Structure 1
């Protein structure tokens, strides 16, 4: 097991290296530069050229990449052109919000997906199964930001059940009980909106696993020996069906991170997804490259985590 974990970590190193090159090249090919449209329009072309030269924007891409990756290894991603502060500090403030939103979304996802998947798989080809299938089809078809807009309009503006923007109520003291309750309250509607969309794949996968397993020979044998229906489902079918779901935990993290980009924008939630969109619009390349690299690293780590979990929970896999 430890050999497999070390091997997966070593494989992740070149993946992260090539990812950093790809991220930097893509960001450098974006139109314009950090000074485009962000300063006094009366400034002279000579001053613009001087600013680009001072910040090394006229250097070849490989020289810029060398400076960037060398500083990034030490945790220095430069300064934001837009916010005039260190990128690391800027992202750190937003990362906690996105992490909290992601944890709450994962919790809602499994609380929704597991019961629906069990009902759909156990009572397949019934009206309940068809209703759940209809929900999953709608979930696959509707983009997350459309679903977020609908939830925002109904539960935020019409019913006033949840706040429509921000991450905490103004005037609260950081670290108090009321502060954290307000944080969770502001995250609830965005997390629930994202969970209702991202959970549809898990529901269908769990349904397929249950239907497939309940026709296996060992299930038929257990029933022939007189085991009750509930015992067969709880001890054999349900337990074996959850193994692949647990293995996909890492991929769920990556999917939620990608979906949060749009949800945070819709709800004006100050996370890294909202920061990424605004930084792209403002051509704040130092922030864009740092956020893309962070997202890519989380995707690689999530994939590695899924492989490790699968090797641990599934006894049929033997890693030497």
Structure 2
């Protein structure tokens, strides 16, 4: 059976589940944010130093903050129906444009962090499975669990102290050299230097998860009948490990990777703040501090869509890894 029908079936199933999920997330986030004290008018008036009651009333009327809660929700849903995320009072620009400026930075950071976490996790997990119960297995387990137990912001600060302050190898923050008009390979290298520390800081938390999961999955798979059959056919241990054991062990790992997209979006708030990285996480923090709930609603909506998209990609990858999944 061709893989295309299985992939189409997986995408259709994900889409049918996504529509009510997104609607529920939008409504729930809206009411939760309404419980928070204050609004954008209060913060903007406080930053200005003084504001009259008439000025604040005019600001609330201009941005629709004086409307009843249900009317605000209907207005927001109407904007979404017209593919609009609304207007930001604090930044005085459409939310979609504001998110569009920050989204590439966060997506790049998350992709790099996820790649680092999976690559290191698979490598360490494979070594742990090969030396199960022996010294390398125990040492790597302790080493990986150390990063799992330490808060992300502390890891970020320690990486800055070591690689930026002490050794001077990497920059401590930002996303590029200020004033440097670099392009081509030089521009890529410059961006990569600024991305190494935040991506590593975001990834280290998940290394222990992928390492332990890889170890457990490989130990379980290598005792299956098809692995013994592959050895009986005369295949080399390396071929059996890569084509049979590791491929089947990737199924639970891809499942966890899809679940971790949402966690990485949450972790990006801390990492982007520590490293002054211009992304959605830092924008979400600024929106909370500025009571700019329209921006925050847009970020939460986009985050939920990214999680749904990641799970759709996971379904496709798992259908490719194990064709039997597409039949379920």
Is TM-score (shorter-chain normalized) higher than 0.5?
A: yes
Worse-matched range after superposition: 269-278 or 212-221: 212-221
> 300, 305, 315: which is aligned to 1:297?
305
Unaligned runs of 5+ in 1: none
Structure with higher helix content:
2
Matches within 5 A, 1:14-29: 14-29=20-35
* CA 1:78–1:174: 2 relative to 1, 3 Å: farther
> 159, 171, 186: which is aligned to 1:151?
159
2:207 corresponds in structure 1 to 199
Normalised TM-score (structure 1): 0.91
Matches within 5 A, 1:239-254: 239-254=247-262
Per-residue CA deviation, residues 137-172 of structure 1 (Å, 9 max, x unaligned), is 212211222211111221122222111111111123
Per-residue CA deviation, residues 210-259 of structure 1 (Å, 9 max, x unaligned), is 11122223334555666554444334322322233234443343332222
Between the two proteins, the alignment pairs up a number of residues equal to 320
* CA 1:176–1:315: 2 relative to 1, 3 Å: closer
Alignment of 1:182 onto 2:186: no
Following superposition, the deviation at residue 318 of structure 1 comes to: 4.4
Alignment of 1:56 onto 2:95: no
Aligned-CA RMSD value: 2.2
Per-residue CA deviation, residues 37-71 of structure 1 (Å, 9 max, x unaligned), is 32234322233233223322222222111111222
On the 8 A contact 1:98/1:272 being kept in 2, the answer is yes
Give the secondary structure class of the aligned counterpart of 2:324. Answer: coil
> 271, 287, 294: which is aligned to 1:286?
294
**Aligned-partner Cα distance in 1 for 2:13–2:238:** 41
Tell me which stretches of 4 or more aligned residues in structure 1 moved more than 6 Å: none
Alignment of 1:113 onto 2:146: no
Normalised TM-score (structure 2): 0.89
Matches within 5 A, 1:230-269: 230-269=238-277
Following superposition, the deviation at residue 315 of structure 1 comes to: 2.9
**Aligned-partner Cα distance in 1 for 2:241–2:316:** 26
Worse-matched range after superposition: 54-63 or 125-134: 54-63
**Aligned-partner Cα distance in 2 for 1:231–1:311:** 22
Following superposition, the deviation at residue 176 of structure 1 comes to: 4.4
On the 8 A contact 2:248/2:321 being kept in 1, the answer is no
On the 8 A contact 1:198/1:255 being kept in 2, the answer is no
On the 8 A contact 2:141/2:208 being kept in 1, the answer is no
> 149, 168, 173: which is aligned to 1:165?
173
Unaligned runs of 5+ in 2: 1-5
**Aligned-partner Cα distance in 1 for 2:265–2:191:** 19
